Amino acid sequence: MKIKSAEFIISNSEVAKCPKDMLPEYAFIGRSNVGKSSLINMLTNQKNLAKTSGKPGKTQLINHFLINKNWFLVDLPGYGYARVSKSTKKIFQKFITNYFEKRKQLVCAFVLVDCRHEPQKIDTEFMEWLGVNQIPFNIIFTKADKLKPQALKRNISKYQEILLETWEECPQHFITSSSDYRGKEELLNYIEEINQS
Ligand code: GTP
Ligand code: MG
């Protein structure tokens, strides 16, 4: 898919105030600093459409970006500051869980994980929470430029092993780098296919 236009529409902390348009939308979620905002810039060929930072906690609100005037990319704040506990309410900011529970326009979530790290409980717990709430999701392994191909393969296999302890099959995954543009076509084509179906 070609990106012809990408516009920032609105930031807010309340799902009720998100755009009313019934356009398909896709949300990026994951731990702080994993590269959610950078990936939005990479996909849309813009340097500063979504605000990025080397320090975790940059994105604080729900941000809607209108793409090609007919679908939304949504940049969300990261999770991962709160300590892991059994209560998802304590782990994830309430307005993030509200977004996933209430946003009817959401087609699917992309859970971003840093390909360099061992599987983290907070990520697998969040995926479980999405599953329990019947919210479709895929996984994106980010920052692929930081690993050699063999190490990347090994880390993804490790991740899949852990997921298969909970899931019957692994969710589909994508491998991306906002530095070398890896995964761009694949991800955009995937979204295009869903939009057309
Ligand atoms: P929060 O908004 O704080 O939750 O973070 P985020 O997930 O939006 O991360 P952000 O896009 O702000 O990126 C965090 C840092 O990682 C920045 O310093 C980026 O330049 C860097 N980064 C993001 N993606 C990549 C990537 O694919 N490769 C490399 N090498 N660095 C990346
Ligand atoms: Mg961000």
Q: Which CATH architecture has domain 6-196?
A: 3-Layer(aba) Sandwich (3.40)
Report, in angstroms and rounded to the nearest whole number, the Rg of the chain calculated over CA atoms.
Answer: 16
Which residues form ligand 1's pocket by a CB distance below 6 Å? 32-38, 52-54, 56-59, 77-78, 142-143, 145-146, 177-179
4: left (phi over 0), alpha (psi -120 to 50) or beta: alpha
CA proximity to 144, closest of 172, 185, 182: 182
Distances 160 to 75, 141, 169 between C-alpha atoms, Å = 25, 12, 9
Ordered per-residue pLDDT tens for the chain, 197 residues: 999 999 999 999 899 999 999 999 999 999 999 999 999 999 999 999 999 999 888 888 999 999 999 999 999 999 875 444 455 545 567 888 999 999 999 999 999 999 999 888 999 999 999 999 999 999 999 999 999 999 999 999 999 999 999 889 999 999 999 999 999 999 999 999 999 98
Closest C-alpha residue for ligand 1 atom 28: 143
Which residue's alpha carbon is nearest to atom 18 within ligand 1? 54
Question: In the 8-state DSSP scheme, what is residue 161?
Answer: H
pLDDT of amino acid 82: 47
Ligand nearest to the CA of 176: 1
Which residue has tokens 């970006």? 65
The per-residue DSSP string of 75-133 comes to E---B-SSPP-S-HHHHS-HHHHHHHHH-TTEEEEEEEEETTSPP-HHHHHHHHHHHHT
Per-residue pLDDT, 80: 73
Instruction: Find residue 8's DSSP bridge partners.
Output: 65
Distance between Cα 51 and ligand 2 center (Å): 6
- pTM score, whole prediction: 0.94
- Sheet with 137-142, side-by-side order of all strands: 6-12, 62-67, 71-75, 25-30, 106-114, 137-142, 173-175
- Residue in 102, 82, 106 with CA at minimum distance from that of residue 92: 82
Return the residue matching tokens 């070609």. 2
Spatial distance between the Cα atoms of 47 and 27, rounded to a whole number of angstroms: 19
